[in-house]
Structure 1
């Protein structure tokens, strides 16, 4: 019989078939193969001439994602938004960068009460988004729910009620610009970005949501080829509990000490580079606590995944020192004390270095 376009044979019955039946089977197979060839020819003739971008391929991780990580209910809707955003801005001559930002939450129960998390605030991703926008990129901002956000991050430590004053005479609410310095400049720039529809925010919460949304984003951006950049600044969990092994209800402390067996999270960078968006410019991050192994680990990542750039940084100095590592070069980016006093951010220099590298990547 025919299943999914291929013929399935019963090995024992095949050897017992009569010569007449064998000839009939060969004739059927020949007719089926001829029909396949005709169909492929028709598809090639109908294919539009402008389709030059590589289509995303399936990888061995695709099945694992579907089986072990819950698929967000809104994934198709979000995918359509990202595709339309990428195509629109690429057609207007703009490049598009996907920025991932913030940490991923790993639930311990299906109806989540307890979970594993990390310290990431999303600061690097949020600030980098602003500098990419200033450099002329359109930005898809894939960020953790309630992590720092472009422009509003500037006032993240401010109690907004302290920044507002109520006038009893007129009933107006007035902004105290001493509490919110630069609010006029920041608000003006944010509204320019919003009016131009240059920023598409997409939220995630759990590790499962992040992985599925990243895959969907990669497939959406694959349609614009080398104009796409991936800036993978999110702090992604290394361990997880498969959804099939997760208890449904809250784990009870009355059951005694808790022992967890965690699986390794699949390395999503490999299928992203090889299968989902093979023509894109991909930047990953490497954070270490031991500076002596930093460059070695960054170069090993480049050799393993065959992408373009690793931004390497050490935990204690990550806000004033990074190394941008490529297969051919490495560039140290440092902020001086004067830079820090002038409120210059290391992300401004990271983005400047990467946009220049992206220029060369597109023209090579």
Structure 2
């Protein structure tokens, strides 16, 4: 078998971004997971979720971050598994997680009590289901997922970790061809400071106002599509604050990287309206007020749209 072509970004990753410990071990684990499920006739989706941290010092005290909580990635993972996919969940450390995401704003101690009542300090601890509505349903589904080994969680924190783990995941899933999907929902920084230019110690405020010069992060979508997993079905996300430029930027991304779809959304309306853009189509997905009352989420519509598109893609690729 021919070795994958080495791109210029491969060299840049090796030179400027520290390789996480055990990345090869994680890559083997992902490859085994994908191979097992593909052999069972199941498709595999790699979901990236949460934001990337960009250190400003080698011994990091300060860093640049973004607001992403990982909500879209975590909820999408649930809907993909409901649709028959196995999920590799490449997520930011402490970002939202499938099945626990809906309880993230609840103080867990308020949801627990002793079976003997408030005055008891012994006996079994039980769940107050009034505080944690739907906990039984979430627990039941999570246990089904665990028993089926449908979810493989992989954590990242920094931009460097994310880039190397995404490359490893792409190479691991390359072997299953068109049965692999990449759902790149993570909020990835556009800028970074190379390790060679980063101060070792904490930047001192006594030195006066801080001026930073940051490099552009390599566009990793290009080698992923062309070199690392060329037969996979790849979806990127485009978030803007200016709706007038959104669709044009989505189209330009498809032209530049030749992947299969862009999920385009505007910051203020992202939970109720997105546009799935492909080279041939443009589908508006909307959550109405009635949908909200019935607990319908936009991610359910996104996943439904993309699984249908993946079906067609696999047929076109010959299975």
Q: Give the match for residue 317 of structure 1.
A: 269
Q: Give the match for residue 24 of structure 1.
A: none
Q: Give the match for residue 203 of structure 2.
A: 251
| Residue ranges of structure 2 left out of the alignment (5+ in a row) | none
CA-to-aligned-CA distance 1:275-311 (integer Å, 9 cap, x gap) = 0000000000011111111111111100000000000
Taking only aligned residues, the RMSD between alpha carbons, in angstroms, comes to 1.1
> Aligned partners of 1:81, 1:326: CA distance in 2, in Å?
32
Cα separation, partners in 2 of 1:169 and 1:256, compared to 1, 3 Å: closer
Q: Give the match for residue 122 of structure 1.
A: 70
Q: Give the match for residue 208 of structure 1.
A: 160
Answering whether residue 140 of structure 2 is matched by residue 192 of structure 1, we say no
SS at match of 2:123: coil
Query: Mapping of 1:167-178 within 5 angstroms?
Result: 167=116, 168=120, 171-178=123-130
Q: Give the match for residue 10 of structure 1.
A: none
Answering whether residue 170 of structure 2 is matched by residue 218 of structure 1, we say yes
> Aligned partners of 2:249, 2:75: CA distance in 1, in Å?
25
> Aligned partners of 1:138, 1:67: CA distance in 2, in Å?
33
Answering whether residue 87 of structure 2 is matched by residue 135 of structure 1, we say no
Q: Cα offset for 1:57?
A: 2.6
> Aligned partners of 1:256, 1:296: CA distance in 2, in Å?
41
SS at match of 2:284: strand
Q: Give the match for residue 11 of structure 1.
A: none
**Which of 305, 308, 313 matches 1:361?**
313
| TM-score, structure 1 as length reference | 0.84
Cα contact 1:287–1:315 (8 A) shared by 2: yes
> Aligned partners of 1:228, 1:265: CA distance in 2, in Å?
25
> Which has the higher Rg, Structure 1 or Structure 2?
1
Answering whether residue 215 of structure 2 is matched by residue 263 of structure 1, we say yes
Q: Cα offset for 1:170?
A: 5.5
Q: Give the match for residue 35 of structure 1.
A: none
CA-to-aligned-CA distance 1:333-362 (integer Å, 9 cap, x gap) = 001100011110000000000000000000
Q: Cα offset for 1:73?
A: 1.1
SS at match of 1:177: coil
Cα separation, partners in 2 of 1:169 and 1:206, compared to 1, 3 Å: closer
Q: Cα offset for 1:56?
A: 3.5
Q: Cα offset for 1:74?
A: 1.7
SS at match of 2:183: strand
> Aligned partners of 1:326, 1:184: CA distance in 2, in Å?
38
> Aligned partners of 1:256, 1:191: CA distance in 2, in Å?
54
Q: Give the match for residue 11 of structure 2.
A: 63
| TM-score, structure 2 as length reference | 0.96
> Aligned partners of 1:129, 1:277: CA distance in 2, in Å?
21
Equivalent residue pairs, number: 312
Runs of 4+ in 1 over 2 A off after TM superposition: 54-57
CA-to-aligned-CA distance 1:197-224 (integer Å, 9 cap, x gap) = 1000000000000000000000000000
Q: Give the match for residue 113 of structure 1.
A: 61
> Aligned partners of 1:153, 1:322: CA distance in 2, in Å?
21
Cα contact 1:101–1:143 (8 A) shared by 2: yes
| Residue ranges of structure 1 left out of the alignment (5+ in a row) | 1-46, 48-53
Query: Mapping of 1:1-364 within 5 angstroms?
Result: 56-166=4-114, 167=116, 168=120, 171-364=123-316
